[in-house]
Structure formats: C-alpha cells, structure tokens
C-alpha cells in the first residue's frame, strides 16, 4: 500500500492520505507541532496513534487511512482514520478507536471546518471501504461537520450507538471540601471499607513517583483486569498476557508528562490501581481495577475517593471518568455528556450491513420494551469495565 498525494487545492492546499508506517513516522514532528498548538486530547496526538499502530497484534486486518491537509509545508489538519475488516465488511473508523475515549479531527485553530469536508471527500474518492463508523464524538467535536453533505463525499448520519462520559465537576476549595460534600452514607462506607481493609495490615494510598518503574504497576493492572474479564466472560485485548498495547500507551502519557498512576497497597501489594492522565486541569481516569480477593473491603471505592481528593488538592477542577456508564460512576458524577456516533454506507455491501444493523437494533429495542429490563452489565467491548463491584452496589 502506497501513500496517496493529492492535487493542490484552494490557496495552495494539498491533501495527502498516509497509508504506510514509514510515512506515518516521517510526519511525526509536523503532527506533534499541530497537536501542541490545537490543545487537543492526547488521543489525537501522533505519539498515541503511532504507539497504537506499532503495538497492534492484528495489523493484517487493518490499514492506515490518515488524511493530512497541508498548506505549503505547514500541516493544517489531520483526520486519523483506519480500516478494519469485520465479517467481510471493510469498515472505515477512527485510528486507535478501541483505545481512545474522545475521537476527532485535529484542526489548526482558526481554520474553516469546510476543510474537513474536503478531506472527507478525498477519502471517499479514494475508496477502499464499504461503510464508515465514527464514534466517541463530543458535542464540540470538529468531525460533527461530516454530517453535512459535501461535494464528492457522502454525509454521515447519527447511529443508535452512543456513549456516556460521566464527570465530577467543581470547583472546590480543596479535596476535603469535596469529600465533606458527599453524602453521610458515602463517607461512612469509605471509612468502614478502609478500616476493614486495614485490619492486620498496613494500607497506603500513593501516586507512583516520577522515577519509579511503571512496569510492575502496569503488569499488576493487566493481571487484575484479566481476572475480572474471566469472571465476567468478557474479552479485553488491552490486557491480554504479553500485549504491548497498555505499556505503549502508558509510555506516551509518561513521555508527555501527563501520566498519573495511583495505587492502593496492602502490606506493599497493590490491591487497586488506576492509570490516569491530566489535561486542561482535568484528571481523566483511563483504567481502574481492583483485587477481587478484597472485594468486601471495596478497595476500588477507597482508591477512587483518594485520587479524587488528591486531584482537587493539586489543581484539578474536574475529574472525567471517560467513556462508560458503569453504576459506580453515577455515585460520584454530577455531570453527564453524551458522545455521538455517525455511520454511512459507501458501497452496496456497506449499506446492506448498516441496514441489517438497524433491523437488529429495532428487534432488540422491541424485546427490551416487552420484558423486564435485565440488570445492567458492562459492555463486552469496554476495556475498562469492572472498576469495583462493591462500589456499584
């Protein structure tokens, strides 16, 4: 697969489609400079997308389709896409979508969003996919411009699959003020859980230091997550034994000085761990898990209380639990944001697949209306599901 240079457009604009790892590496400096200027989430950085691509265990199922917009030698926009073959259908999706909570086009500040439409038209003209699925879009996402029909392209339309982002939004004078604002029952549960966990042992909450090795904490996190997935019959490739993905993405966060790993230790052994990062005065909880051996003491619940207080004391004005609407998040969150997803069929096969998906969803919705709703379960594709069952009760 070769890279596709585009013809010059208005005012010297040039569009390019990156398809090879070699070209992906070459554009790193320009992409990172644009990312820094835009203030976008780490999920849109070159480092994140590159780490994802190189750690993928199934590259043979995927192809890079990264659209660049240049003006002379200056990079003005990046649309980070990739294709994945699913049940014989070639689906165009966000690059690294399974490991990114907020996806979007990276656009230089002040640039007209009409450029996004021209980039989309270029992808459509190039082809190589049957259907498009672009999810995890915040209401403010640049990519929402793709719902408008563009010359040479096709407009996307809303998909029934949505995601929620739950958040704790301040400000507070300090972490203790936030803690005191919680219900009396929540505070008592925290103290009771901490007392139970501390019986006959020393319990310590701490943040991994700057010079501390990440490996042991990441290994423990993956181990606990695999155990949770096994108990619940789920699959989460991020935590597969021997997978390079979690260390690679954590290293990106560390290299950008965004990473915050918090652990709750009992006699020096990690019983709960959360891998977080901070951007724009917001603490974002990427992965959280706990040791089910101590489930009755709710170590995940304790850790959540502790890292929220730490974050507020260190300048955070909000704590973002990122994607997923697990019950425990509702116990703390005071804000909910809905993330949209958009789809479109390019070929007859893609349109048929989307029609089949709509029919299946309609049948499932009807069945759910005609029977008692089951107890909510973590979605099978949620890599971070299962933070602390005790906290969800």
Rounded to whole angstroms, how far apart are CA atoms 50 and 7?
26
pLDDT for res 386: 40
Q: Which residue has the tokens 């029977």?
A: 371
Mean pLDDT of 230-252: 93
CB 80 within 8 A of CB 43: no
- DSSP run (H or E) holding 262: strand 259-266
pLDDT for res 149: 63
CB 146 within 8 A of CB 134: yes
Mean pLDDT of 193-209: 97
Q: Which of 31-45, 63-77, 347-361 has the lowest mean pLDDT?
A: 347-361
Task: Supply the pTM of this predicted model.
Answer: 0.90
* Whether residue 360 has pLDDT greater than 80: yes
Q: What is the pLDDT of residues 268-290, one digit of tens each?
A: 999 999 999 999 999 999 999 99
What single string gives the DSSP state of each residue in 49-115? HHHHHHH-S-GGGEEEEEEEEEETTEEEEEEEEEEEEETTEEEEEETTGGG-SS---EE-TT--THH
Q: Is 6 helix (H, G, I), strand (E, B) or coil?
A: strand
The structural domains of the chain, ordered by start, are 4-158 (3.40.630), 166-335+379-392 (3.40.630.30)
């Amino acid at each position: 697969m070769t890279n596709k240079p585009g013809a010059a457009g208005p005012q010297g604009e040039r569009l390019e489609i990156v398809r090879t790892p070699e070209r992906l590496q070459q554009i790193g400096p320009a992409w990172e400079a644009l990312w820094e200027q835009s203030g976008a989430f780490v999920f849109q950085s070159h480092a994140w997308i590159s780490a994802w691509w190189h750690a993928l265990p199934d590259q043979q199922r995927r192809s890079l389709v990264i659209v660049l917009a240049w003006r002379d030698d200056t990079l003005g926009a990046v649309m980070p896409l990739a294709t994945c073959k699913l049940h014989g259908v070639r689906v165009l999706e966000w690059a690294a979508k399974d490991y990114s909570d907020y996806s979007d086009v990276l656009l230089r500040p002040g640039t007209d969003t009409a450029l996004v439409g021209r980039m989309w038209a270029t992808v459509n003209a190039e082809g190589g996919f049957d259907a498009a699925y672009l999810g995890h879009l915040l209401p403010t996402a640049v990519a929402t411009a793709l719902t408008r029909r563009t010359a040479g392209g096709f407009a996307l339309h809303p998909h029934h699959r949505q995601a929620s982002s739950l958040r704790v939004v301040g400000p507070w004078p300090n972490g203790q003020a936030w803690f005191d604002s919680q219900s009396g029952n929540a505070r008592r549960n925290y103290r009771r859980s901490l007392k139970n966990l501390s019986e006959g042992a020393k319990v310590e909450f701490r943040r991994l230091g700057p010079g501390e090795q990440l490996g042991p904490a990441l290994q423990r996190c993956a181990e606990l997550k695999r155990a949770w997935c096994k108990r619940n019959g789920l699959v989460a490739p991020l935590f597969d034994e021997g997978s390079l993905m979690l260390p690679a993405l954590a290293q990106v966060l560390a290299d950008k000085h965004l990473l915050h790993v918090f652990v709750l230790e009992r006699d020096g052994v990690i019983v709960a761990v959360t891998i977080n990062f901070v951007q724009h005065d917001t603490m974002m909880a990427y992965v959280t898990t706990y040791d089910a051996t101590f489930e009755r003491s709710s170590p995940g619940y304790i850790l959540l209380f502790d890292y929220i207080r730490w974050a507020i004391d260190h300048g955070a004005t909000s704590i973002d639990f990122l994607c997923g609407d697990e019950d425990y998040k509702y116990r703390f969150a005071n804000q909910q944001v809905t993330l949209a997803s958009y789809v479109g069929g390019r070929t007859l096969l893609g349109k048929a697949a989307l029609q089949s998906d709509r029919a299946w969803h309609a049948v499932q919705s009807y069945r759910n209306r005609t029977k008692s709703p089951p107890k909510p379960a973590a979605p099978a594709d949620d890599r971070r599901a299962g933070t602390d069952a005790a906290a969800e009760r």
